[in-house]
Structure formats: C-alpha cells, structure tokens
C-alpha cells in the first residue's frame, strides 16, 4: 500500500524558484541571439505547438544540406 501523495510547500517553493531562474537565464541567453534567429526559433515552436496552422517544406540536397521553410497564414498578435 502506497502513501498518498503530499504536496509539501517547500517542494512547491523550490519548483517555482527553479522555474523562475530558468526563465530568467533563457531570456538572457535568447536576448544575445540576432532577431532573425529568434524569429526562426519562434516559427519552429509555433510549428510544434500548432502544426495545423503551419506549412512546412523540407528540402534536402544531394550534398546533404537541409533547408526547412515554414509559412503560416496566422497574423502574429502583439504581446505588449
């Protein structure tokens, strides 16, 4: 017989602190990237989260280079 799961306040606090610190670190890291790179990452994340709204074309050349083209009809919303 297993014990019921208990949600200890300390565990929740530690988890929230880790998430906050990770979010801050990622924001600082991403801020160093050029805008076009951040845009590419955002488009890829959008493809993963909402694949039905994206068109993806993957081209592979005989030399082995890859090119992924993402397109969408969705107009980005303003976040600020």
Q: With contact defined as beta carbons under 8 Å apart, do 44 and 70 qualify?
A: yes
pTM for the full model? Answer: 0.48
What pLDDT, on a 0 to 100 scale, did the predictor assign at position 80?
Answer: 45
What pLDDT, on a 0 to 100 scale, did the predictor assign at position 60?
Answer: 94
What pLDDT, on a 0 to 100 scale, did the predictor assign at position 79?
Answer: 54
Pick out the chain residues at pLDDT < 70. 1-8, 74-80
- Close Cβ partners of 31 (under 8 Å, ≥ 6 residues apart): none
What pLDDT, on a 0 to 100 scale, did the predictor assign at position 66?
Answer: 92
What pLDDT, on a 0 to 100 scale, did the predictor assign at position 43?
Answer: 82
């Amino acid at each position: 017989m297993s014990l019921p799961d208990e949600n200890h306040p300390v565990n929740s606090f530690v988890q929230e602190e880790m998430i906050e610190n990770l979010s801050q670190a990622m924001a600082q890291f991403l801020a160093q990237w050029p805008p076009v790179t951040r845009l590419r990452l955002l488009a890829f994340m959008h493809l993963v989260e909402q694949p039905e709204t994206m068109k993806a074309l993957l081209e592979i050349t005989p030399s082995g280079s890859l090119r992924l083209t993402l397109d969408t009809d969705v107009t980005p919303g303003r976040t600020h």
